[in-house]
Amino acid sequence: MKKKFILIGLFTALVLISSCVMKTTDSTTTCDDGRVVSLGEGCIPDDDLNYSQEQQTYKECIKKENNKKLSLSEAREIAINSKCVEDGSLTDKSFCNEDTGTWWIDLDLKKEGCAPACVINIETKTAEINWRCTGLLPG
């Protein structure tokens, strides 16, 4: 019985690994879903991210509900002119939440138990800090 579970596990692992394999040509890669990306971009499935590969490439966030758009450069400009950068700076790590219509740009701010981000609203073009704290008290 144990051998059967091990074989099923190995088969499942092989299927998962093979689904991630990319076909390479020169300096571009064709992903399993048909997208062609440069070798440095990789083939991260859209389901694993809060934004689509297309939007990440074009650096534009589109709110699903109403198709309002805001580019990453516009979002960074709003953040730079907000309280988000009073005590720290923006990092290069960002993502779009299409459901809430917000850009999240990580901040280089230190607060124990927290991972702060500047959250920029696509519709209101306002920014605020979300501290993303775990709620655990320092030991």
Q: Give the pLDDT confidence score for residue 75 in this predicted structure.
A: 97
Q: Give the pLDDT confidence score for residue 59 in this predicted structure.
A: 83
- Global pTM reads 0.58
Task: DSSP for 54-113, please give it.
Answer: HHHHHTEEE-TTT--EEEHHHHHHHHHTSGGGSSSEEEEEEEEETTTTEEEEEEE---TT
Q: Give the pLDDT confidence score for residue 95 in this predicted structure.
A: 93
Q: Give the pLDDT confidence score for residue 103 in this predicted structure.
A: 97
Residue 123 to residue 81: CA distance in whole angstroms? 17
Q: Give the pLDDT confidence score for residue 34 in this predicted structure.
A: 57
Sorted by where each begins, the domain ranges of the chain are 51-134
Mean pLDDT by 10 residues, the chain (139 residues): 53 43 50 55 47 56 96 96 96 94 96 95 98 79
Name the nearest CA neighbour of 104 among 135, 85, 128. 128
Q: Give the pLDDT confidence score for residue 117 in this predicted structure.
A: 97
Q: Give the pLDDT confidence score for residue 51 in this predicted structure.
A: 42
Q: Give the pLDDT confidence score for residue 5 in this predicted structure.
A: 47
